[in-house]
Amino acid sequence: MECLVRLIGVLLISNEDCDQRYEYLSPQIINSPVFGVEAYWREFAHLGAIGWTRDDGSIYWGCGGSLIWENFVLTAAHCVFNSDFKNSLPTVVRFGDLNLYNDTDDQFVQQYSIVKIIRHPEHRFIAKYHDIALLKLEKNIELHGTVVPACLWDDEEVRFTTLESAGWGTTGFGESQTPTLLKVALHPIDKSVCDRHYRAGDRGLKQGLKDYQLCAGDATMNTCQGDSGGPLEIKLLHTIYITPFIVAVTSFGSLCGKASPGVYTKVAPYIPWIRSVLEGQGEDAPDGNFTALLAKVTALAAVNCTLPKQFQPLLTKGLAEEHLCFGSDIFLVPEACEQSLGGGVQSTFLVDRAKHTVYALNLLGRDCGFGEPAIGVKISSHAQWLSQILLKNKRRSVESVLFYDADLELGDHCGLPDGTIGMCTDIRRCPKVQYDLNIQKAVTFCSTGTIVCCPFHNVLNATEGAGSELDTCSSLFRFADEQNHLSYAERDIKKRFPHVVKIQWILHHGLIKSCIGTLITQSVVVSSANCLSRIGNKTAELILDWETKSPQMSIEKIIIHPRYDASTLRNDIGLVKIGGTIESKSGTIPTCVWRNQTHTPLFLQQVRLSGNGIYQAGGMLK
């Protein structure tokens, strides 16, 4: 996304800071959509009132505009001319004011003269096309919480269900202008529907509506005369702060306040032009990327899981049982959180201590499931394959009579087939159950195919190997947690996720690539087959931390699920065997694997890496 601002004072304000700008300057909370109500102070810190100076020195405020650069305002091209005044051109822009006609809130008002007007070269006053312009101010604004440039939405796809507009326009047909800034929630309307209201051949619309024009409206409210040039925007989340992104500029409509939609000029198609104007005026409009995010996601039922169009060809048969759909209704600052292949989607239980259980691996999605669902692959769906790899000596008989209780965990009391009570134990610690399986007698399994209900007097005292680590991870994590005297919230991000590692390799031209992995035993890491398969015959290393001199370990073997299908991303899971073991004193500790195939945690956390380190994103399932 584009944020066209520069270094002001000691703060770096560029397109890299769109996710942080309102954190430093204008902290806010998320508000529910509203319409036809007064805006609150600093909510539209980028919005300016555009005025014409009368002969008596008073000012008529007739349009709105959005500050997108320290000395440039984005508005509608038709706003730069008003024949009702001797001087038909606008003269001033006023920021940081809610009520334009009294001075009760003028403490932080900033007002500047307009020194240059630049309409889009294809705009014509007799038509309603290319209705966009830039106003250059006499000098740079003073950066403050009440006056802050907005960001520009640079994706022509508008995927939001609700947008917001604001202005000092009239409050209805035949009504007077509002002295106080009002905001309204509007919904994007499909072009085919909007074409019924605005037909080809209508005044100023010889060719009908164009793709760069957006329709939006509400059953009772709309933008009105005087709101022209103002923003149609979306407020996006970053950590606990929200950042406004200008999606479109208010252009025209029919009767305001009625059910007919208004028409807005999308910003995205004009960003190259905006950039060229700024550079032509001696400004430096940089490119950049966003940082990462810390938040929550939620699990979604498959019926509520609507994938973005670009991912639908990968899942032509829809979601399978192995898939997890997760996300949040809140949209994020674009690129603030990017899916990391193989990254864990985990649950965290905070009672007397923190306990992590990795539930799924990242498969596909964008913005980490915020605003649109993302997809993961459930580890529990591949428990049998994991057992085959990690427990090669386990005895099996497909004809044995098996009783399965998914709610039982290691160490729980359980009911044996003969009606007596036993304990859920690693199968290798119970030779009686191994024998019963061989002779095809009834046995009871607890949470997974490696945990069985064993008579108390048949439980052996010791186990070893990967299976033992998988089964005892809860106690391992408890021990490690007890060594940490800080509460879960007080720990740094690495200590909250001591099981997250990075698998790294170098391409022939020197570019470093990586996957996220989750340590599930002291010598085994789980990740996505999609990412691991990209390593090929290159030498990969395991990185235990994200500092410059992070500890590294050699990789002995990479095992891709035998039924992994790259075309459909089915069975997207793989294992990495480490050349050695990772000791707990390194600070990297195995996590638990969620084995319950019938139940899903309500809240999950998604873990990803960026160039700056490890981040988490969390939420609910859909």
The catalytic position among 78, 356, 499, 561 is: 78
The residue assigned the tokens 């630049």 is 118
Helix (H, G, I), strand (E, B) or coil at 40: coil
CA distances from 469 to 97, 293, 385, 476 (A): 63, 32, 17, 8
Taking the C-alpha atoms of residue 271 and residue 155, their distance in angstroms, rounded to an integer, is: 10
Catalytic site residue 78? yes
Of 338, 372, 376, 374, which is closest to residue 359 (Cα–Cα)? 376
Tell me the β-bridge partners of 233. 164, 246
The answer for residues whose C-beta is within 8 angstroms of residue 537's C-beta and 6 or more apart is: none
For strands 7-8 and 402-404, give the pairing. unpaired
The catalytic position among 26, 66, 228, 380 is: 228
The catalytic position among 131, 367, 436, 471 is: 131
Cβ pair 452, 460 in contact under 8 A: no
The answer for residues whose C-beta is within 8 angstroms of residue 198's C-beta and 6 or more apart is: 205, 208, 209, 215, 263
Catalytic site residue 105? no
Taking the C-alpha atoms of residue 617 and residue 300, their distance in angstroms, rounded to an integer, is: 16
Cβ pair 575, 382 in contact under 8 A: no
Cβ pair 559, 574 in contact under 8 A: yes
* DSSP 8-state secondary structure symbol assigned to residue 140: P
Cβ pair 2, 15 in contact under 8 A: yes
Taking the C-alpha atoms of residue 447 and residue 425, their distance in angstroms, rounded to an integer, is: 10
CA 167 to chain centre: 29
DSSP string, 530-584: HHHTTTTTS-EEEES-SSTT--EEEEEEEEE-TT-BTTTTBT--EEEEESS---G
Which helix (H) or strand (E) segment holds residue 83: the answer is none
Sheet of 421-426, strands arranged across? 402-404, 443-445, 451-455, 421-426, 413-415
**Catalytic residue list:** 78, 131, 228
